[in-house]
A and B are shown apart, each in its own frame.
Chain A
Amino acid sequence: MDAGHNEERRTIIQVKHLTKRFEKLTVLDDISIDFREHEVVSVIGPSGGGKSTFLRCLNLMEQPTSGQILVDGVNICDKHIDINRHREKMGMVFQQFNLFNNMNVIKNLTAAPVKLKKMSKEEAEDKAITLLRRVGLEEKVHSYPSELSGGQKQRIAIVRALMMNPEVMLFDEPTSALDPEMIGEVLDVMKELAHEGMTMIVVTHEMRFAREVSSRTLFLSDGHVEEDKPSHELFDHPESPRLVSFLQKVL
């Protein structure tokens, strides 16, 4: 929240002139922005404003039409780069959880790190149990996704991303598909992550989370970053008329 303090932190992701078009529709229009280590950034804005597309461009789940995305100084849009190695460093959590339906919880958590030789099976299982305990789900080790509630699935999806020891966590509307009474349990896990210093970029409709947990909030509308400020400032003193009218609608 202290701008001077932020300057000293290492820049993890640098977005330069990012543009994304689908056919003739321009979803992201020349966006340039930096994300620093330990920052928690919320991305808010009207639906169709390009929030999810922006997030999905950061790990190249969407291919940018033009521009550069530098992760740790490496341009991941470069054709010669092994994108899989970069995705390991960027955990992603989806609106629809996307737990692997053919695997039980422990398999969901350990399959990728073991396959990609990040750790041995035993190490992965130990780590998985430790993380599951932290989100209060250690008794679900052998359950299948179909046996879990939405909130449980999402907490496990967060753990699955954490298993890879990511440098950044990307959240794509993580609570939008949840029943209201389950939103809290997922937000609590995210808050804890934020307090531990995880770098997080969160596309969200949860304005309280944006305001209270994230250090910085972006307002994305019509493919532009309309405002980019420390969260309290953005919510207390919105400048652009679009943000003012958006906040009036959602708050």
Chain B
Amino acid sequence: MPFFKTVEKLIVNYGNFFTEGVRNTLIISASAVLIGTVLGALMALARMSQIHPLRWLATAYIEFFRGTPLMVQLMFIFYGLPMIGVTFPEVSFIPDFSRFMAGIVAMSLNSCAYVAEVIRSGIQAVDSGQMEAARCLGLSKKQGMTMVVLPQAIRNILPALGNEFVTVIKESSVVSVIGIADLMYRTNGVKAKTYNTLECLFVAAIIYFIMTFIFSKLVAYTERRMAHGRRA
């Protein structure tokens, strides 16, 4: 089987290229989900706010970022922003810092929009009678939220958030177009060196799959654990 011989050769000779790519892919994805979750939580609050302009802005943001391609958003931030004088700083001890920042910012802003919707729908999926009962006992809206609604919403939100991480790992491959040395970028590099196009893409696909598969299994596991009893 010459195909698998070539694959083996690629892994032996260029293994460190792929592992560096995986590392960067994971750094970008994890940062994007982390920042995206924090911003997304705030965005979800704004989206459900009683203050109309705030709600309107949040809705506009979410619709815009979900309705335009990540590639366009990334290009806009990496190439577009410097043209109007907004640049990311360079840090001497981290190579390619500004490039990385552009990638993380774009992915985070994008992820924020999706996470906001995940959180909002998770909260709104909790039966409104739960909040009513809390209010009737004399608890404030905030107390009802933290004691009753959010603990139940978490159960809806966490699995969906896990899926968002899986999506981000896959989507992060677009950052290769602005020259961030992620798995896709490294794959292209090895491909150009060896001309083993099919084998290189095969290796990349398998690595992406392993990452997402492990993670979605983890998500499924936590989902099962949380589904035990406790639900009306």
Asked whether, in the complex, the Cβ of B139 is within 8 Å of the Cβ of A98, the reply is no
Most chain A beta-carbon neighbours within 10 Å: one of B133, B138, B143, B229: B138
> Which B192-232 residues have a C-beta within 8 angstroms of A?
229-232
Asked whether, in the complex, the Cβ of A98 is within 8 Å of the Cβ of B138, the reply is no
Asked whether, in the complex, the Cβ of B139 is within 8 Å of the Cβ of A101, the reply is no
Contacts of A39 in B (CB 8 A): none
Tell me if B147 is interfacial: C-beta within 8 Å of chain A. Answer: yes
| Interface pick from A80-88, A178-186, A211-219 | A80-88
Interface residues on B, range: 20 to 34
Asked whether, in the complex, the Cβ of A115 is within 8 Å of the Cβ of B136, the reply is no
Interchain CB contact (< 8 A) of A101 among B130, B132, B138, B143: B130
Asked whether, in the complex, the Cβ of B138 is within 8 Å of the Cβ of A146, the reply is no
Contacts of B229 in A (CB 8 A): 144, 146-147
> Which A148-190 residues have a C-beta within 8 angstroms of B?
157, 160-161, 164
Tell me if A64 is interfacial: C-beta within 8 Å of chain B. Answer: no
Asked whether, in the complex, the Cβ of A115 is within 8 Å of the Cβ of B147, the reply is yes
Q: Which residues of B contact A (CB under 8 A)?
A: 127, 129-130, 132-140, 143, 147-148, 151-152, 229-232
Beyond A144-B229, A144-B230, whether A100 also contacts B138 by CB under 8 A is: no
Asked whether, in the complex, the Cβ of B152 is within 8 Å of the Cβ of A101, the reply is yes
Asked whether, in the complex, the Cβ of B230 is within 8 Å of the Cβ of A146, the reply is yes
Tell me if A209 is interfacial: C-beta within 8 Å of chain B. Answer: no
Bound-complex Cα distance A100 to B140 (A): 15
Asked whether, in the complex, the Cβ of B129 is within 8 Å of the Cβ of A94, the reply is yes
Beyond A61-B132, A96-B129, A101-B230, whether A161 also contacts B137 by CB under 8 A is: yes
Contacts of A144 in B (CB 8 A): 229-230
Interchain CB contact (< 8 A) of B147 among A84, A111, A145: A111
Bound-complex Cα distance A94 to B147 (A): 19
Other CB < 8 Å A-B pairs besides A90-B136, A101-B231, A101-B232, 8 of them? A87-B135, A94-B132, A94-B133, A98-B127, A100-B130, A100-B147, A115-B147, A144-B230
Contacts of A157 in B (CB 8 A): 133
Q: Quote the shortest CB–CB distance from A162 to chain B (angstroms).
A: 11
Asked whether, in the complex, the Cβ of B147 is within 8 Å of the Cβ of A88, the reply is no
Q: Quote the shortest CB–CB distance from B126 to chain A (angstroms).
A: 8
Bound-complex Cα distance A116 to B147 (A): 12
Sampled A-B contacts (6; CB under 8 Å): A84-B139, A86-B138, A115-B143, A115-B147, A160-B133, A164-B138
Contact digits for A85-129, partner B, Cβ 8 Å, 1 yes 0 no:
111101110101011111100000001100110000000000000
Beyond A94-B133, A96-B129, A101-B130, whether A87 also contacts B138 by CB under 8 A is: yes
Interchain CB contact (< 8 A) of B138 among A88, A94, A103: A88
Contacts of B134 in A (CB 8 A): 100, 112
Asked whether, in the complex, the Cβ of A100 is within 8 Å of the Cβ of B133, the reply is yes
Most chain A beta-carbon neighbours within 10 Å: one of B127, B135, B137, B151: B137
Beyond A61-B132, A94-B133, A111-B147, whether A102 also contacts B139 by CB under 8 A is: no
| Residue of B whose beta carbon sits closest to that of A116 | B138
Asked whether, in the complex, the Cβ of B138 is within 8 Å of the Cβ of A84, the reply is yes
| Residue of A whose beta carbon sits closest to that of B154 | A102
Q: Quote the shortest CB–CB distance from A111 to chain B (angstroms).
A: 6
Q: Quote the shortest CB–CB distance from A172 to chain B (angstroms).
A: 10
Q: Quote the shortest CB–CB distance from B130 to chain A (angstroms).
A: 6
Asked whether, in the complex, the Cβ of B232 is within 8 Å of the Cβ of A87, the reply is no
Asked whether, in the complex, the Cβ of A146 is within 8 Å of the Cβ of B232, the reply is yes
Bound-complex Cα distance A160 to B139 (A): 13
Asked whether, in the complex, the Cβ of B130 is within 8 Å of the Cβ of A98, the reply is yes
| Residue of B whose beta carbon sits closest to that of A102 | B151
